[in-house]
Amino acid sequence: MRNFTGLLETAKGAGGGVASLPADVTRTIDDVTQRVNNASDVLAARTASNSRRIRTALGTVRKVLIGVAAVMLVLVFLGFVFSLTGFKSLVYTAVFLGWIIITATLILSGTFLLLHNVIGDTCVAMDEWVAQPQGHTALDDILPCADTTVTTDALRRSEQINSQLVGKLNELVSNVSNRNFSSQQVGPPLNYNQSGPLVPLLCNPYNADLTVRTCAATEVTPANAQQVWQRFVCRTTTSPGTSTEVCATVGRLTPAMLSQMLTVASVSDGLRQQAPAMGDLASCATVRRAFQTIGERGCPSLRRDSSRVYQALLATSVAAMLAAAVWVVHSRERRRRRESELFRVSPYRLPIEEKVLLNSPRRPYRRV
């Protein structure tokens, strides 16, 4: 839309003195340019706002996931160290904090499961909208359509301006450049000593009713205009008593006229090439193609990644719960072993007096 309004602005002074547009046409250009600029400003603002909100949400999610992963790793490491060292109070503190993180991770996993379902429903809604476009829907919050009235009117006006611009140029070429004036009757700027073969006209892309027109064999297109018109340029000199350039050799176009005619041809071709894009904006085909591209390229990866995220969070929560249980079991086992070692009684630790066994009373043996 910005390129389109830029071409319209260029069209106002494209031909200079060669193909100047009437005052009413220039006022129409100003009106169309203002309306299209306003519509493009609204569209750009809404699109930028939606993009900013999506990027902010994704950035927040990324930071939350990084924070949860970092806290979980630190907590698991500390719990493992506390469990090995046998600090019961620290182990229970780590278990308490671990359950808080586990609860938060489970809630986050549920949130991503909900986000996964929302992404799937949105992709289905986009596919249905592409197949059967409707009016205003919730998808406008993602990528809104341009103002249909403004874009349709701008497209129609651009076709009129393009046709009039080329018509003015061809009128000047037919009535001035391709005519042979008598030097006694007419002087510069109409008579600048033009002579030689006639200059071919520029192809007008539209008929009088603004339907697409096929170029005639004798007409030039914007693509080969410079190559063809270059052969009709003469060498110029300044007319005596004036500053007007006149041809000193055979030719019907001065270098200045060629430059202005090429500008008109370039603007005409630019407006013609922008017409399909403006038509797509008017019919919202651009948004449909964008949604179709998102559905084909973005939705599968979004569904896969969101599914992996909530599955990974769920697995992390389960692993953290098992780790907390292992910390408690290991801590209790260490305490039980320590207590059993503390109260264990060994016969080798009892005090035995020297030669006690030798002084024990003797019992006579009986014979059976």
User: pLDDT digits over 72-110, tens only?
Assistant: 888 878 877 777 776 777 777 877 888 888 888 888 888
What is the predicted pLDDT for the residue at 353?
52
Q: Write the pLDDT tens digit of every residue in 271-313.
A: 888 877 777 777 777 778 888 888 888 888 888 888 888 888 8
Cα–Cα distances (Å) from 189 to 162, 192, 233, 257, 339, in that order, read 26, 6, 16, 11, 117
Mean pLDDT of the chain: 78
Same domain, 131 and 165: no
What is the predicted pLDDT for the residue at 313?
83
Query: By C-alpha distance, which of 34, 281, 39, 263 is closest to 155?
Result: 281
Q: Are 265 and 225 in contact (CB under 8 A)?
A: yes
DSSP letter assigned to residue 231 = G
* Residue 107 identity: I
Same domain, 243 and 151: yes
Q: Is the pLDDT of residue 368 over 70?
A: no
61 assigned to some structural domain: no
Q: Is the pLDDT of residue 33 over 50?
A: yes
**Phi and psi (nearest 5°) for 365?**
-85, 140
Same domain, 151 and 139: no
Same domain, 183 and 271: yes
131 assigned to some structural domain: yes
CA distance 158 to 207: 14
Same domain, 298 and 233: no
pTM (2 d.p.): 0.63
CA distance 262 to 229: 9
Q: Write the pLDDT tens digit of every residue in 240-265.
A: 666 778 888 888 888 888 888 888 88
Same domain, 207 and 331: no
What is the predicted pLDDT for the residue at 16?
55
Same domain, 160 and 139: no
115 assigned to some structural domain: yes
* Residue 108 identity: L
Q: Quick one: residue 86, left, alpha or beta (phi over 0 = left, psi -120 to 50 = alpha)?
A: left
What is the longest distance spanned by two Cα atoms in the chain? 176
CA distance 156 to 133: 23
Q: H or E stretch including 247?
A: strand 245-247
What is the predicted pLDDT for the residue at 27?
80
Same domain, 151 and 254: yes
**Phi and psi (nearest 5°) for 360?**
-70, 145
The arithmetic mean of pLDDT across residues 17-21, rounded, is: 59
Q: Write the pLDDT tens digit of every residue in 142-155.
A: 666 777 788 888 88
**Phi and psi (nearest 5°) for 252?**
-120, 0
363 assigned to some structural domain: no
Q: Is the pLDDT of residue 346 over 70?
A: no
Q: Is the pLDDT of residue 120 over 60?
A: yes
Token pair, residue 245, equals 């350039």
What is the predicted pLDDT for the residue at 350?
46
Would you call 360 exposed, middle or buried from its count of C-beta atoms within 10 A (0-12, 13-18, 19+)?
Answer: exposed
Give the residue numbers spanning the domain of 195: 1-54+147-283
What is the predicted pLDDT for the residue at 46?
79
Q: Is the pLDDT of residue 348 over 50?
A: no
186 assigned to some structural domain: yes
365 assigned to some structural domain: no
Same domain, 162 and 300: no
Domain count, the chain: 2
Same domain, 181 and 206: yes
Same domain, 31 and 175: yes
Q: Write the pLDDT tens digit of every residue in 197-254.
A: 898 998 888 888 888 888 888 889 888 888 898 998 888 888 766 677 888 888 888 8
What is the predicted pLDDT for the residue at 359?
57
Same domain, 197 and 108: no
Q: For residue 361, what pLDDT band results from cuts at 50, 70 and 90? A: low
Q: Is the pLDDT of residue 61 over 50?
A: yes
What are the beta bridge partners of residue 87?
Answer: none
